[in-house]
Amino acid sequence: MGDPRKHRRKWSGPKHPWIKERILKEIELVGRYGLKNKRELWIAETLARRFRHRARAILGLPEDLRERELKALIAKLAKLGIVGDNASLDSVLGITAEHILERRLQTIVYRKGLAKTIHEARQLITHGHIAIGATRVTSPGYLVSVEDEQFVTYAPGSPYKERLEAKGVEAI
């Protein structure tokens, strides 16, 4: 089992560190999604890679077990909002890091208009101004499920929420 204080690494970096096209793509994604460093991008890439590997492993299973496992995988990915409800195996095999990055709390806060920039969204989250329902979440990398997305708003007691209420605008 291991010591609970000794966490496993959640990411694996690139095999070759100096490929120009990969570096330029990483820099563009880090800027677009307001990531702190490339490690956050590598975490998303690793998660997408694990989903794709799991889908390929499902291909090798017997037919009855394959359908059950594929439905479970698609249900999990649909709950996270990475693929649609009626997705196929090809769409699961086509998952990229961008699909994962679109479901991060930081991106959701920016897309909902709670922050003016993607970087402001990160700051609002880390400073405790964003909540999902009644639970304050301070991790910008939190993956928001589809059902929780509607509950993303300013935290109770946040000056941002109070400022909206003072203007007469109801908080989202």
* CATH 3.10.290.10 location in the chain: 105-167
**pLDDT digits over 12-57, tens only?**
999 998 999 999 999 999 999 999 999 999 999 999 999 999 999 9
Taking a C-beta distance cutoff of 8 angstroms, is the pair 148, 142 a contact?
A: no
Sign of CA dihedral 127, 45, 55, 108: positive
**pLDDT digits over 85-111, tens only?**
999 999 999 999 999 999 999 999 999
Residue type, 131: A
Q: Nearest to residue 12, comparing CAs of 48, 57, 65?
A: 48
CA 109 to chain centre: 12
Q: What is the pTM of this model?
A: 0.91
Looking at 3.10.290.10, 3.40.50.300, 3.30.1490.20, 3.40.640.10, the CATH number of the domain 105-167 comes to 3.10.290.10
DSSP conformational letter for 94: T
CA 83 to chain centre: 13
